[in-house]
Amino acid sequence: MAVIKGGRLDFLAPHLLRSQFLRPGFVRLSLRLGAAQQMPHWAKLQFLQFGVSHDDLERTLGRITSLESWVDEWEYLGRAHEQGARDALALGRADEAARRFVAASAAYNFAQYVMFLDIRRKRELHDSCVRAYARGAAYFDPPAVPFQFTFRRQPVTGMMRLPHGRRPAPVVVVVNGTNAVKEELHWWSDALVERGLAVITFDGPGLGGTFHRLSMVAEPRPVGVAILDEIERHPELDPGSVGMLGLSLGGYIVIRMAAHDRRIRVVGAVSPPYSADVYWNVTLSSMRRELAALYDMEEGDMSRSIERITLAGALPRLRAPLLVAGGGHDLITPGSEAWRIFEDAHCERQLVYYPRAAHDCFNVLGDLRPRVVNWFADHLKVRPEHAPVAGALDEPWLAGEAVDPDFADALAGEAAPREWRPARDRSADAHWGWPWAPAEDRSPEVTIRQAPARLPAIDSYPPEAPDTPDMLSV
């Protein structure tokens, strides 16, 4: 693998581009040298997981030779799919239109990944991403509809999908991480809703559509209260069966929310930080100005406050069952953070650790996603209402699991014997599992730890009043 000043070319992966982990000069030179075409297989999985077809990906990467062409080529692909979706609607093909709108949204989102300085252009591409997804929302099965709550006197609008069957429905709120958008969570919502769980996704505060209206919050508890209060007012949602799932910094957010408000019955966190200090002083230390801007603070003030953005005081109070997942090849949130969270928590908990997984475990989602969905379904008392059938999709390219999940050389190797791996509930995930999923002996290496609760469980609704706050907002 070639090396140039600033890093190795195999670091040119989507999640590293978005996080601005790589310097703009390094990215520009890498693209000029043809790094887009040479992107490692494991990095391409992130495009495929978000709905980009293999053929579209290869054609688009093959035409990229600069930062400018990266934006132009992905935007061109988005426009092509958006026009294709409109044509499909004119012909009465709603299913095809939905797929095309999702693909267009993904393309627009990838277009803005390398926008470091042109904020106006970045906002335009984000608006296109949101517009395309919203146009297709009515044609999803089940459809996605707006879900709005108020925070700091500002409206925060997310998307809600209600499953077929039980009413009121148990619900999972999914929270993304820094520099991410709610539209990326489509495939998580697809998997959850197929198991009879309602799903709510939203941006904010300080993320996606709220970036220019709200800053990030070090203390997310008021946001959680606002969401839960709105769920209680919705007649089709069960306020006694609420779970929260967070990715990256979203994992930190949902754990703090659940430690404060016991209306949250179960929690899942993928690649969460134990403390924001790991970003500030370790993995993203060159981005201190950008991190401070997310919280609408000066760099010096942020440096003095960073130690207070931690789960140290929250984990001992968390009573909801917790699943935490991490990866050994995560360059943004080290996998050791997941272990720290598992060890410090006192609730019922499970750790799922992949030694070769990248950030958000995107290169092992074929294995992780069923585990996470089953975790929520089991704890929210959901069982499939249909007879188990073999899964099938019209367009296999829509899911990242449609590609060979083998890792690139950088992420491959002889798998060590698994310490423990529970048998899968085949009847529970057969309906939405992909028929092209790898055989059991090709599953990624995974270590699983379980521990019982050391605190009383939540056994009634409504639960007792939340704990007295012990942390100040920054």
Q: What integer pLDDT is reported at residue 28 of this predicted model?
A: 57
Asked whether the predicted pLDDT for residue 285 surpasses 80, the reply is: no
Whether the Cβ atoms of residue 465 and residue 424 lie closer than 8 Å to each other: no
- Name residue 201's beta-bridge partners: 159, 174
Counting residues of the chain whose pLDDT is more than 70, the rounded percentage is 68
Q: Look up the pTM and report it.
A: 0.76
pLDDT in tens, 25-35: 556 566 655 55
pLDDT in tens, 54-107: 889 888 888 888 778 888 889 999 999 999 999 999 999 999 999 999 999 999
Give the H/E segment covering residue 349: strand 349-354
C-alpha separations of 75 from 43, 61, 180 in Å: 20, 13, 18
The reply to whether omega before 220 is within 30° of 0 (cis) is: no
Q: Indicate the pLDDT class of residue 293, thresholds 50, 70 and 90.
A: low
Q: What integer pLDDT is reported at residue 36 of this predicted model?
A: 59
In the chain, residues under CATH classification 3.40.50.1820 are: 143-275+310-465
Asked whether the predicted pLDDT for residue 384 surpasses 60, the reply is: no
Residue range 387-392: mean pLDDT, rounded = 35
Chain length of the chain:
474
The whole-angstrom separation of Cα 21 and Cα 46 is 16
Q: What integer pLDDT is reported at residue 183 of this predicted model?
A: 87
Annotation: CATH topology of 143-275+310-465: Rossmann fold (3.40.50)
Whether the Cβ atoms of residue 381 and residue 170 lie closer than 8 Å to each other: yes
Asked whether the predicted pLDDT for residue 393 surpasses 70, the reply is: no
In the chain, residues under CATH classification 1.20.1440.110 are: 1-139
The whole-angstrom separation of Cα 248 and Cα 392 is 30
Cα 252 to chain centroid distance, Å, stands at: 12
Least confident interval from 3-17, 87-101, 148-162, 194-208? 3-17
Q: What integer pLDDT is reported at residue 27 of this predicted model?
A: 61
C-alpha separations of 279 from 114, 215, 341 in Å: 20, 18, 16
Q: Which has more pLDDT, 420 or 150?
A: 150
Strands (E), 129-195: 144-151, 154-161, 169-175
Whether the Cβ atoms of residue 44 and residue 36 lie closer than 8 Å to each other: no
Q: Which has more pLDDT, 194 or 305?
A: 194
pLDDT in tens, 256-279: 999 988 899 999 999 999 988 887
Q: What integer pLDDT is reported at residue 182 of this predicted model?
A: 86
Asked whether the predicted pLDDT for residue 322 surpasses 50, the reply is: yes
Q: Indicate the pLDDT class of residue 219, thresholds 50, 70 and 90.
A: low
Asked whether the predicted pLDDT for residue 21 surpasses 50, the reply is: no
Asked whether the predicted pLDDT for residue 178 surpasses 70, the reply is: yes
Q: What integer pLDDT is reported at residue 124 of this predicted model?
A: 87
Q: What integer pLDDT is reported at residue 428 of this predicted model?
A: 41
The whole-angstrom separation of Cα 46 and Cα 362 is 6
pLDDT in tens, 236-257: 999 999 999 999 888 998 999 9
If you average pLDDT over every residue of the chain, what do you get? 75
Answer positive or negative: Cα dihedral of 209, 211, 213, 219. positive
Q: What integer pLDDT is reported at residue 99 of this predicted model?
A: 92
Residue range 312-322: mean pLDDT, rounded = 91
Q: Indicate the pLDDT class of residue 50, thresholds 50, 70 and 90.
A: confident
Using DSSP bridges, classify how beta strands 169-175 and 154-161 pair: parallel, antiparallel or unpaired. unpaired
Asked whether the predicted pLDDT for residue 117 surpasses 70, the reply is: no
pLDDT in tens, 358-382: 888 988 888 999 999 999 999 997 6
If you compute the radius of gyration of the chain from its CA atoms, what whole number of angstroms results?
21
Using DSSP bridges, classify how beta strands 169-175 and 237-247 pair: parallel, antiparallel or unpaired. parallel
Residue range 109-130: mean pLDDT, rounded = 81
Give the H/E segment covering residue 451: strand 447-451
Q: What is the DSSP letter of 317?
A: G
Residue range 318-343: mean pLDDT, rounded = 91
Q: What integer pLDDT is reported at residue 238 of this predicted model?
A: 94
Strands (E), 207-281: 237-247, 264-270
Whether the Cβ atoms of residue 324 and residue 317 lie closer than 8 Å to each other: no
Pick the CATH number of 1-139 from 3.40.50.1000, 3.90.1150.10, 1.20.1440.110, 3.30.465.10: 1.20.1440.110
Q: What integer pLDDT is reported at residue 148 of this predicted model?
A: 86
Q: What integer pLDDT is reported at residue 461 of this predicted model?
A: 52
Least confident interval from 5-9, 51-55, 199-203, 353-357? 5-9
C-alpha separations of 127 from 62, 111, 167, 205, 211 in Å: 26, 12, 33, 17, 12
Q: What integer pLDDT is reported at residue 46 of this predicted model?
A: 80
Counting residues of the chain whose pLDDT is more than 90, the rounded percentage is 33
Asked whether the predicted pLDDT for residue 406 surpasses 70, the reply is: no
Q: Which has more pLDDT, 194 or 462?
A: 194
Residue range 203-216: mean pLDDT, rounded = 52
Q: What integer pLDDT is reported at residue 375 of this predicted model?
A: 94
Q: What integer pLDDT is reported at residue 3 of this predicted model?
A: 34
pLDDT in tens, 133-154: 999 999 998 999 999 888 777 7
Whether the Cβ atoms of residue 326 and residue 339 lie closer than 8 Å to each other: yes
Using DSSP bridges, classify how beta strands 154-161 and 322-327 pair: parallel, antiparallel or unpaired. unpaired
